[in-house]
A and B are shown apart, each in its own frame.
Chain A
């Protein structure tokens, strides 16, 4: 790789041992992908909590802090695994919570703003067109690339932390024009009235084209999608398909037309998603053994407008006796939701609001499932429906209002 004089100085230790190690690691990753150089980034979003990092990751972070590591650019954290306010009720381990506190302390010591959110693009920072960032959590990356026209690869925890310390990232993948062109076309011939419908589109398209390098171009949509709808579409594409970018003709900045989004190339495939396709998605989820006593609104965390809608749907109602309903959001949205009365309305209905976490990565989730005798998990998020299987839940995707009905009746519909 071609390194600048400043980068060579970092490798020689000019910015300390932590930065030296970080840059050395980035060069190895860059050389694997054939990157010619490193490029500066303006911001980093990293995943780092005790559930994903484990004791080894915590030991690494402790060492980084001791070496005097410091973030060179603004760095934020993704949703984490422990809600300290609800830890005991959730049955999360006190010892792991203690490690999580230490881990958060290490991150803050090196200059990380622990925002604990997977919707940083809605609530913390919106990069501009062409801005290079190093973000982690796939949903944040696909939103940055697609909706903002910013540039990022999937940067996992160690890679994002390295970018934070050096202020750079290797130039490969979605930093390069050649990988950002659409590769296949998807006509949206469906009403798409609920967030779950947008996630279901992401499931259908992602599942059938699993590749980091596949870039769908959506066209023919009869409505203007909202930020929350694009969030659910992107999160599902990234989850089911490992995709990091999509185009949406007339909506995303690199897609003024279908031809422009495809960059002059012929699409490898043309397909359409219809209302009938979406109906099949919903009917494919069935109640397995057990009952529908767990409803989750999470993965991604809820935006303020999602909180507002849920508060309206739950208004004057109660979560059914013996059922549990969880909502996850970040601290900023929760504070505003409290001020606006949404959080109060949800809590009055018996909904538990978890802060700064994602339901999927909750520490102790598998034992929690067993202790509560949860078998099925109902959600309006196609993403969490995809990944929760690792904890042996039977997941069921339903539209938002249906999820509320199920939460309040305990009956699947």
Chain B
């Protein structure tokens, strides 16, 4: 079983299907906030839905408006189950905690190659770790 250690984390334990991105993410620049689908032309995950996924993004992008966006997508029932960031910023953390979406930052080892989109993973913020439970 593959285990990834994370540096910082907040939120309850959740399980879900992984969505692994090589590119950063902003809920304002990249996401259609009515469908939960990444729609920015040229994004490596263009066309993918983040709804109910455990989303792995290397970096966070975007400005202050992202803070309300997570609560907005949670309200619309199109939120992911967790955000796993390599490097994030205060806005993402403030927004995720406000929306009650688990969020982590910093990973070892890098999930690229270790976790694939479609794998079933468990995010355990209290133990600062992510486990791959089932391969796609």
A and B: interacting chains: yes
Give A residues with C-beta under 8 Å from B.
25, 28-29, 31-34, 47-48, 52-57, 59-60, 78, 136-138, 153-159, 172-173, 210-212, 238-239, 242, 361, 387, 389-390, 392
Q: Which residue of A lies closest to B104 (CB)?
A: A32
Q: Which of A25, A34, A52 contacts B69 (CB 8 A)?
A: A52
Answer yes or no: B89 CB below 8 A from chain A CBs.
Answer: yes
> In the bound complex, how far is the Cα of B41 from the Cα of A238, in angstroms?
23
A57 near B90 (CB under 8 angstroms)?
no
Q: Which of B24, B40, B65 contacts A389 (CB 8 A)?
A: B40
Q: Which residues of B contact A34 (CB under 8 A)?
A: 8
Across the A-B interface, the 3 shortest Cβ-Cβ residue pairs: A156-B67, A56-B75, A54-B72
Residue B63 CB within 8 A of the other chain: yes
Given contacts A54-B72, A158-B95, contact A390 B28 (CB under 8 A): yes
Contacting residue for B68 out of A31, A137, A157, CB 8 A: A157
Is B66 interfacial (CB-CB < 8 Å)?
Answer: yes
User: Of residues 24 to 59 in B, which have CB atoms within 8 Å of A's CB atoms?
Assistant: 24, 28-30, 33, 40-41, 59
Kindly list 7 other residue pairs between chains A and B, CB separation below 8 angstroms, not including A56-B75, A57-B68: A29-B90, A34-B8, A54-B71, A154-B64, A154-B89, A156-B68, A156-B94
Contact, CB under 8 Å: A158 / B89: no
- Distance in angstroms from A203 CB to nearest chain B CB is 14
Closest to A54 in B: B72
Contacts of B90 in A (CB 8 A): 29, 33, 153-156, 159, 172-173, 212
**Is residue B116 contacting chain A, with contact meaning CB distance below 8 A?**
no
Q: A136 contacts B67, CB within 8 Å? A: yes
Are B89 and A54 neighbours in the complex by a CB distance under 8 Å?
A: no
List residues of chain B with CB under 8 Å of any chain A CB. Answer: 8-10, 24, 28-30, 33, 40-41, 59-69, 71-72, 74-76, 87, 89-91, 93-95, 97-98, 103, 105
Residues on A with C-beta less than 8 A from B103 are 32
Give the CA-CA distance A60 to B10 in the complex, in Å: 21
Q: Which one of B28, B62, B87, B98 has the greatest number of beta carbons of chain A within 10 Å?
A: B98
A159: B residues at CB distance < 8 A: 67, 90, 94, 98
Sample 19 A-B pairs with CB under 8 A, ordered by A number.
A28-B97, A31-B10, A32-B105, A47-B67, A47-B68, A52-B68, A53-B68, A54-B33, A57-B72, A60-B71, A136-B67, A138-B64, A154-B91, A157-B65, A158-B71, A158-B95, A172-B90, A210-B24, A212-B90
Residues of B within 8 A of A32 (CB): 8-10, 93, 97, 103, 105
- Name which residue of chain A comes closest to B103, CB basis: A32
Q: Known interface pairs A155-B90, A159-B67. Does A25 touch B61 (Cβ–Cβ under 8 Å)?
A: no
Closest Cβ of chain B to A205, distance in Å, is 16
Question: A29 contacts B93, CB within 8 Å?
Answer: yes
